[in-house]
Amino acid sequence: MNWESVSFWIEGHPGLASWVQAIGSIVAILIAVWISNTDSRIRKAAEKHARRSAIIRCQWVLANSGDVVERITKSLVSAELTESIAMANIARLDTLHNEIRELVYGPGIDSDIFGVVLNARLGVDRLRYQLQEWLGASEKFSYEAKSLKYHFSSIDNALAKLDKMASDF
């Protein structure tokens, strides 16, 4: 079959062009829908991966922070607390504060993760405030472990919530 016979056949069927156009339009719409769905699936998978990565980052930083806060809390309860130790602990808490604050600027952080991280950071900030209060006091006092448990438990609670979020994947 040559092109000339095809051309004559097409010219002999005047409604063919509109049918080809209609079928082409339907195929184009189906392809556009398929591309849109594929893009949406890829975007959702990327968001899920970013959220999972954010949770893992937060868990790692808060677990390390919990260890530091626990050591500082134990030093506050012991009778060995000195001004130099208190100042060193304040510097460590400042570092923790900054590390925890930086978490919320990473990819994958949503409002749920932000709230959990903020609560943990507030626990660190309150412990720092108590150390500063101890440094400023004219008569040095000792802390009871029960009164300091809140600071450590805020990080524990945050880790538990992050574990629950991670298990939802």
What residues does each domain of the chain span? 50-167
The closest of 56, 55, 64 to 155, measured between CA atoms, is 64
Q: Which fold has domain 50-167?
A: Four Helix Bundle (Hemerythrin (Met), subunit A) (1.20.120)
C-alpha 89/C-alpha 101 separation (Å) is: 18
Instruction: Spell out the per-residue pLDDT of the chain, length 169, in tens.
Output: 688 887 777 778 778 888 889 999 999 999 999 999 999 999 999 999 999 999 999 999 999 988 888 888 877 777 677 888 888 989 999 999 999 999 889 899 999 999 999 999 998 898 888 888 878 877 766 666 666 666 678 888 999 999 999 988 7
pTM comes to: 0.71
Q: Decide: helix, strand or coil at residue 77.
A: helix
Sequence-separated (6 or more) residues with CB below 8 Å from residue 69: 93, 96, 123, 124, 127, 151, 152, 155
For the chain, the distance separating the N- and C-terminal CA atoms, rounded to the nearest angstrom, is 59
